Chains A and B, each alone.
Chain A
Amino acid sequence: MKILVPVKRVVDYNVKVRVKSDQSGVELANVKMSMNPFDEIAVEEAIRLKEAGKAEEIIVVSVGPKGATETIRTALAMGGDRGILVEHDGETEPLAVAKILKSIVEAEGPGLVILGKQAIDDDCNQTGQMLAQLLGWPQGTFASKVVVNGNDVDVTREVDGGLETVKLTLPAIVTTDLRLNEPRYASLPNIMKAKKKPIDEKTPADFGVDMTPRLTTLKVEEPAKRSAGIKVASVEELVAKLKEKGVIA
């Protein structure tokens, strides 16, 4: 079985993003970019399935600017086999990305597509589910455990009330949550080897997908700030203050 792992290049999760003064977006110039952390977990899960003999090949795909090649290389250094870059400067809305992925899935025929549950830039949490619908495939979103058994996959999902397990008929889509695994670091020899792994270069036009955004961002603002209150000296003072505010009896 092949596994397709879509990855997104996003602002590194350690960067404190700043809203531009003209409210047109967030500052992206000279900001460290990295692989979306949920996608790293997806790459790791695919590698573990390959190591367990459940998969033969891992194809990493990214839709984004030229710089996304680096993101693909990172995934190849972790253990992916080959990459596909679908180069696009500008917005990459989940619906358009899902349409491109659908074409790639139809061409490559993977048994599983594993991807992050959401990207930490737009926080949409849509691409996996949209791809599943476009393909008519089942989905296991927010996965904390993935067990492949023959023609099925059991996915344990992190849901509001706790955990839930669903059985999906392969081929299927899995989106990753935080506790699925801890992604490995690529070793230096593997980083060197990854430089030789092939990356196909495509454009959205190759798949006949229109990237025109359906949503226009009118403005981006800082959230309302909370100001620090006061320090209390003791538990008794704290209780007295809360009673004063009427939040406890």
Chain B
Amino acid sequence: MTALIIVEHDNAALKDATLAVVTAAKAFGEVHALVAGSGCAAVADAAAKIGGVSKVLLADDAAYAHPLAEELANLAISLAGSYDAIIAPATTTGKNFAPRVAAALDVAQISDILEVIDTDTFKRPIYAGNAIATVKSSDAKKVITVRGTAFAKAAATGGSASVEKVAAAAKTGKSSFVGAELSKSDRPELTSAKIIVSGGRGMGSGDNFKLIDAVADKLGAAVGASRAAVDAGFVPNDYQVGQTGKIVAPELYVAVGISGAIQHLAGMKDSKIIVAINKDEEAPIFQVADFGLVADLFEALPALEKAL
């Protein structure tokens, strides 16, 4: 069997989420990788080096400069005939276009898988991760999105796949990219960071996130936030860790002023070590924390920065 994975990238570099997808896709046997973009040859070369990828399909066309769901889906649909599975990361890009592919192929999509049991059977979270369902698909072709934190990353180097150019699919022309406000940061990305320091409603204001930033900079960590902190306008939406934000599983997760709502826990409970700093010793976050510190964060954070 052969799986086609859709490579996530920004036309310059391949995103880490792709590597976990390769690992999940290996269960199907051969893995081919589709790189759709504009001026993205470097990404195709990087994809060709991923261990386990045997062929790279490169669709280099202005239509794919931004990953518009309509165009990306049409391309994947045009290639789907040769594959047993189409697999994408469960990122906002993957979640956006993959169901269109499934609908066109008249198959059920299996969203956000955590484990491949066999090529028909998968584990996936339901009810915000409060339950894990094992589901078996009766469709001949599979369309799958993969939760990146649930799979080990394939080696980014060592492979030597061939790169084959493929034609762009017919354009729908019904959607266009207007603009983006992407957060610029020298810090690592949340979904690939080894250490994350997150703040919650207890931070009190966006300005106070400077205290988090200072600790994160000492640790080389990414900065995250709870939904409460994002809803309160302290930080932008892309900081959000949780069921409806980003799912993360770093080596170390430091939750500061975060009470530990279910929806937040769903996004970070697979972290290797969890530290909670909260002045409320009854906060549910302490029930999942390896190390809990009951303290006023406005004293603890500066002290932590100094101690590191």
CB B119 to nearest CB in A, in angstroms, measures 14
Q: Is B252 an interface residue (CB 8 A)?
A: yes
Which chain B residue lies CB-closest to A241? B291
- Given A16-B130, A129-B97, A160-B92 in contact, is the A137-B291 Cβ separation under 8 Å? no
23 CB-based A-B contacts, threshold 8 Å: A11-B127, A129-B103, A130-B99, A132-B70, A133-B104, A138-B70, A141-B95, A162-B238, A163-B180, A163-B182, A165-B178, A166-B175, A167-B178, A168-B175, A179-B237, A213-B108, A228-B286, A230-B292, A231-B294, A232-B291, A239-B304, A239-B308, A248-B219
A221's nearest neighbour on chain B, judged by CB, is B132
Chain A interface, >50% SS class? mixed
Residues of B within 8 Å of A218, CB to CB, are 121, 134-136
User: Is A94 a contact of B183 with CB atoms below 8 Å?
Assistant: no
Given contact pairs A133-B73, A163-B181, A219-B134, A126 touches B127 in the complex (Cβ within 8 A)? no
The distance from the CB of A198 to the nearest CB of chain B, in whole angstroms, is 30
Residue of B nearest to A226 (CB): B288
B131 x A95 contact (CB < 8 A): no
B110 is an interface residue with CB less than 8 A from chain A: yes
Please measure, in the bound complex, the distance between the C-alpha atom of A127 and the C-alpha atom of B111, giving whole angstroms. Answer: 12
Does B295 belong to the interface (CB within 8 Å)? yes
How many angstroms between the C-alpha atoms of A144 and B92 in the bound complex? Answer: 14
Interface size on A, residues (CB 8 A): 78
Interface residues of B in 107-129 (CB under 8 A from A): 107-112, 121, 125-129
Kindly state whether residue B5 has any CB partner on chain A within 8 Å.
no
Q: Hey, which chain B residues are within 8 Å of A121, CB to CB?
A: 126-127
Looking across the interface, which residue of chain A has its beta carbon closest to that of B272? A247
The chain A residues found within 8 Å of chain B, CB to CB, are: 11, 16-17, 19, 26, 93-95, 98, 120-134, 136-142, 144, 154, 157-169, 172, 177-179, 213-223, 226, 228-236, 238-239, 241-242, 245, 247-248
**Chain B residues, Cβ within 8 Å of A144:** 237
A227 to B137, CA, bound (A): 33
Q: B87-106: which residues lie under 8 A (CB-CB) from chain A?
A: 91-93, 95-104, 106
- Residues B293 and A17 in contact, CB atoms below 8 Å apart: no
- A177 CA to B103 CA in the complex, in Å? 22
